[in-house]
Amino acid sequence: MVSRLIPVREAILAGAILVLLALVASRFAGFVAPANLANVFNDTAPLIILALGQMVVILTRCIDLSVAANLALTGMTVAMINVAMPGLPIPVIIAVAIALGAVMGAINGLLVWKLSIPPIVVTLGTMTIFRGTIFLISDGKWVNAHEMSAAFTGFPRAAFLGLPVLSWAAIATILVFGVMMARTPLGRSIFAVGGNPHAAVYAGIGVGRTQFLAFVISGALAGLTGYLWVARYAVAYVDIAGGFELEVVAACVIGGISIAGGIGSVGGAVLGAIFLGVVKNALPVVDISPFWQLAISGSAILIAVAFNARAGKARGRIILKSTVAPT
């Protein structure tokens, strides 16, 4: 039943995106030109990467509200490193960004795993801490384009086979997650923990450990996105990506990732992000007010939540009693 439901969700969402593009094209045909659609995808690439990281967290019945703060702190840190050491190779900077993001994700994961603190409480707290840390290390100052090296800012914009590196980073993330979720023990563990944690325990899967790894993955992707974001826009400051964590969660919900855990797909998360990206880029072109942009996104979220709620009503008979998860 679930395996059939997910493709239906994806098909409906893909159809909604095509209808939206058709409506916009009727007012401004240039929007659906291949070059412009490539630009829309590039604009949406950071959201796609973060949505995939948030997906694995939500699938394990958790949530990570600190991804945007993680992005901002990592972006500010690597920008300051670049100012101090402009000759540092870009691969090293990317490795530092991913490692720093993973450490922040690990902090969230350990607090949830070892102290059993609700994920929403943990990540709200760390979100505030990470934002405050940006102010402490930067003294509230900005890092501007003229202070960054050309290699630092040029890497995400460099074209390869007609697409910027930022877009290729999103495509690579999609492919890696597609394989990980479908073909690896970790992917199967993530679905098992979210679908039925008690059954996962009987299968020998560590629920807390799997949730910890999900937070580490989400944090690592936030760190990578932090560098890509700051380098692309050539600026770093305290409030960078403010409120972006809500867009990330919205992309997952619209894409059919169940907040209750265990139901979702890589394709759904990607389509949810693309839907929001099209709304954000298309509606201003046809002179539609920001209110309607928010209304459309909000309506899509409500419809997705209602769809998830109806899908979750049919539950089987419980045959396994609750037990303590192995650590």
SS3 208: helix
H, E, C per residue of 237-266: CCCCCCCHHHHHHHHHHHCCCCCCCCCCCH
CA-to-CA separations, 16 to 20, 38, 246, 274, in angstroms, rounded: 6, 19, 21, 11
In whole angstroms, give the CA distance from residue 28 to residue 34: 14
Confidence category of residue 105, pLDDT binned at 50, 70, 90:
very high
In the 8-state DSSP scheme, what is residue 236?
B
Res 4 pLDDT > 60: no
Segment 304-313 mean pLDDT: 70
Burial code (b: 16+ CB inside 10 Å, e: under 16) for 125-164 equals: ebbeebbebbeeebeeeebeeebbbebbbebbeeeeeeeb
Q: Residue holding tokens 């993973």?
A: 102
pTM: 0.91
Mean pLDDT score across all residues of the chain:
89
pLDDT in tens, 16-44: 899 989 988 888 888 889 999 999 999 99
Question: Domains, the chain, ranges and CATH?
Answer: 42-311 (1.10.3470)
Distance separating alpha carbons of residues 296 and 67, to the nearest angstrom: 24
* 275 to 19, 54, 225: CA distances (angstroms): 11, 16, 19
> Does 73 or 309 have the greater pLDDT score?
73
Radius of gyration of the chain (CA): 20
Amino acid at 133: T
Q: Could you give the CA distance from residue 257 to residue 58 in angstroms, rounded to a whole number?
A: 7
Integer Cα distance of 107 and 130 in angstroms: 11
CA 312 to CA 291: how far, in whole Å?
A: 31
Tell me the Ramachandran region of residue 116: left when phi exceeds 0, alpha when psi lies from -120 to 50, beta otherwise.
left
- Per-residue pLDDT of 177-234, as tens digits, reads 999 999 999 999 999 999 889 899 888 899 999 999 999 999 999 999 999 999 999 9
pLDDT tens digits along 146-175 = 999 999 999 999 998 889 999 999 999 999
- The structure tokens 């008690």 sit at 198
